[in-house]
Amino acid sequence: MIMNYIEKANFEETGFSYTLSLISGKHKMVILYCLMEFKIVRFNELKRYLKNISDKTLSNNLKELEADRLIFRKEYPQIPPKVEYSLSDRGKSLMEVLDQLCVWGENNKGLF
């Protein structure tokens, strides 16, 4: 009986799968966490926060997060260029869920 449900199930159609597609990768959740903690962050500040990340990788991750409407990018018309990133309302609502990962980690990190 259970096998019948599994055969008909499609993980890719679940909300869980959709959420994972938005935050997948090594850096996206860390970028979102940084923006949650510090509100408005510039590119070089993000780079320092993430330590070992290339400009290209950071730029690609930021573009994807912006395309998914999880962050805002504000560009100031000046020289040198100034760009700031912040969470969108959609990103803030996701962080309410992801913050529970932090709570779980704090509660369980010394238990093994």
Residue 17 has pLDDT above 90, yes or no: no
Check residue 2 and give its pLDDT. Answer: 57
Check residue 91 and give its pLDDT. Answer: 94
> Domain extents for the chain?
26-108
Considering the domain delimited by 26-108, tell me its CATH architecture.
Orthogonal Bundle (1.10)
Q: What is the pTM of this model?
A: 0.82
CA 83 to chain CA centroid, Å, is 18
Check residue 72 and give its pLDDT. Answer: 96
Compute CA distances 11 → 48, 91, 94, whole Å: 36, 23, 20
Report residue 48's pLDDT band, with 50, 70 and 90 as the boundaries: very high
Q: Provide DSSP, 39-77.
A: SEEEHHHHHHHH-S--HHHHHHHHHHHHHTTSEEEEEE-
Report residue 55's pLDDT band, with 50, 70 and 90 as the boundaries: very high
Q: Which residue has the tokens 């070992």?
A: 52
Q: How far apart are the first and last CA of the chain?
A: 37
- Distance, CA of 41 to CA of 57 (rounded, Å): 17
Residue 1 has pLDDT above 60, yes or no: no
Identity at 75, one-letter amino acid code: E
**Ordered strands of the 40-42 beta sheet:** 40-42, 82-87, 71-76
Residue 68 has pLDDT above 70, yes or no: yes
